[in-house]
Chain A
Amino acid sequence: EAQVTQNPRYLITVTGKKLTVTCSQNMNHEYMSWYRQDPGLGLRQIYYSMNVEVTDKGDVPEGYKVSRKEKRNFPLILESPSPNQTSLYFCASSFSWGSPYEQYFGPGTRLTVT
């Protein structure tokens, strides 16, 4: 089954404790992206990657890191989480070229930083 998986689905952590949210897709997509969703703000792009070893900042990259060492994986790293990073996080993937290249979303990771 074609899908984007994220782990963990729920995470409660404390300020400053490094964490990684994993994202993996099995559709051979070149493009992968991370978003955060906050009430009243919609989804905001954190980072995206056009292909292996190519990453770019989205609208809200501060406090986050990413890496793209393999095509299928795109982990999101919070090196020193703070309470304002409490949010719902989505990973998504798509082809880079060709219409309509809609994004396929993972199920989301709900992160709480205390």
Chain B
Amino acid sequence: AQKITQTQPGMFVQEKEAVTLDCTYDTSDPSYGLFWYKQPSSGEMIFLIYQGSYDQQNATEGRYSLNFQKARKSANLVISASQLGDSAMYFCAMREGGNQFYFGTGTSLTVIP
């Protein structure tokens, strides 16, 4: 079974609108961390936001928030007020038991002016 599933290969959003990128995960480990990374066309990997499995509140970092639904094993990324510079590939990832990392296949986001 896939550890991280991102079901949206591509998404479009109008500039200044909000967008949700989906991510579901699979683990039986009670201790895990969930991450979102952005990869612009230049290729570097940029850390956006983190959610720990024991965190009670949803994580927020500026325009990024993580909608963490533990029972459903989902960790969706919400980007508010989209900007042209948000056009990129977005990866959801999980660190399981502190050791091994798993990444999803990514979602390509295009922001339309």
CB-nearest residue of chain B to A104: B47
Return chain B residues, CB-CB under 8 Å to A88: 43
Which of A38-46, A64-72, A73-81 binds B? A38-46
What are 8 A-B contacts with C-beta separation under 8 Å? A42-B6, A42-B104, A42-B105, A100-B33, A100-B52, A103-B47, A103-B101, A108-B43
Contact of B35 among A41, A96, A102 (CB under 8 A): A102
B interface bracket (residues with beta carbon within 8 Å of A):
20 to 34
Contact between A107 and B50, CB atoms less than 8 A apart: no
Interface of chain B: mostly helix, strand, loop or mixed: strand
Which of B69-77, B79-87, B91-99 binds A? B91-99
> In this assembly, does A56 line the interface, its C-beta being within 8 Å of a C-beta of chain B?
yes
Contact of A44 among B6, B33, B52, B103 (CB under 8 A): B103
Contact of B103 among A42, A97, A102 (CB under 8 A): A42
Contact between A101 and B43, CB atoms less than 8 A apart: no
Given contacts A41-B105, A42-B104, contact A50 B99 (CB under 8 A): yes
Return chain A residues, CB-CB under 8 Å to B105: 40-42
List 9 tightest A-B contacts by C-beta distance, closest first: A100-B50, A105-B45, A43-B103, A42-B105, A102-B47, A42-B103, A45-B101, A42-B106, A108-B43
Given contacts A42-B106, A56-B99, A100-B33, contact A107 B43 (CB under 8 A): yes
Return chain B residues, CB-CB under 8 Å to A56: 99-100
